[in-house]
Amino acid sequence: MHIEIWSDVVCPWCYVGKRRLETALGRFEHADDVEVVYRSFELDPTAPRHGTELSTGVIARKYGRTEDEMRDMQQQLVDVAAGDGLDLRLFETVHTNTVDAHRLLHLALDTGGPALQRELKEALLAAYFHDARDVGDHAVLTEVATGAGLDHDRVVAVLDGDEYAGEVAADVAQARAFGATGVPFFVVDRRYAVSGAQPAEVFERLLAQAWAESHPVLEQVTATGEVCGPDGCAV
């Protein structure tokens, strides 16, 4: 079974949704046969390459709210995330660009498969939300990526060039084609879609349903026609 998750590194609900899917997978008997791949989604492609401003102020302006109102909303999100075991330092995160983080996530998938990509995805989310680091900064990205197990020279080469930019753009286009306007956006076997950080129970039901669908009992379409068997050929 194949799960694709469109997600951004700076998206708190993506982090929460990741934990809830992991909870569901922990309870799913066929979890070893489930492959999870992260797809790129950029919440703000226009964000600066280096984070110089806190996210709270930028989002407050977008919403047309005061920073105090914004912080109240963020606090609600922090409280929900705490219930999922996540300690988000949401007020300290910086507004930054994620295209390079996504390019490295593609490098990880390309060179180490879903297992390495998963390591990097978790490390990037933790770096941003837990350590409040600038995941647009190349020094930060290099440190996080090599820490997750990626090859140092390949990381530097990818960051210096524009490798995997096409893959990132293709992911974003595919999300749009699927009608996704926000993330996280989960797609199972290119057949079922779930939008948002749903409760673990929703993911559990989805996994069970998709598993049953992908392991059908063979269906005999019509009555048997003319066959040859051990005792000869019917005419």
Choose the binding region for its own copies from 11-19, 125-133, 142-150, 156-164 (rule: CB under 8 A).
11-19
Under rule CB under 8 A, residue 13 binds its own copies: yes
Shorter beta-carbon distance to its own copies: residue 150 or 203: 203
Angle between helical axes of 67-83 and 12-26 (0-180°, round to 10): 10
Shorter beta-carbon distance to its own copies: residue 153 or 216: 216
Binding residue (CB under 8 A) for its own copies from 29, 32, 153, 233: 233
> What is the smallest separation between the CB atom of 223 and its own copies, expressed in angstroms?
8
Tokens at 15, concatenated: 């982090």
3-state secondary structure of 188: strand
Exposure string of 13-46, with b = 16+ CB inside 10 Å and e = fewer, is bbbbbbbbbbbbbeebeeeeebebbbbbbbebee
Under rule CB under 8 A, residue 66 binds its own copies: no
* Residue closest to 42 by CA, chosen among 101, 92, 93, 89: 101
* Residue closest to 168 by CA, chosen among 8, 14, 53, 1: 8
Residue 195 identity (one-letter amino acid): S
Shorter beta-carbon distance to its own copies: residue 139 or 173: 173
* C-alpha to C-alpha distance for 173 and 104, rounded to whole angstroms: 18
> What is the smallest separation between the CB atom of 32 and its own copies, expressed in angstroms?
20
Shorter beta-carbon distance to its own copies: residue 112 or 182: 182
Shorter beta-carbon distance to its own copies: residue 16 or 104: 16
Burial class (CB in 10 A: 0-12, 13-18, 19+), 87: exposed
Residues of this chain, 166-205, that bind its own copies according to CB under 8 A: 178-179, 181-185, 187, 190-199, 202
Under rule CB under 8 A, residue 62 binds its own copies: yes
Over its C-alpha atoms, the chain yields an Rg (Å, rounded) of 22
Shorter beta-carbon distance to its own copies: residue 164 or 203: 203
Choose the binding region for its own copies from 32-40, 103-111, 152-160, 224-232 (rule: CB under 8 A).
224-232
150: β partners:
none
- Judged by the rule CB under 8 A, the positions of this chain that interact with its own copies are 8, 11-14, 16-17, 43-44, 59, 62-63, 73-74, 76-77, 80, 178-179, 181-185, 187, 190-199, 202, 206, 209, 216, 218-222, 224-235
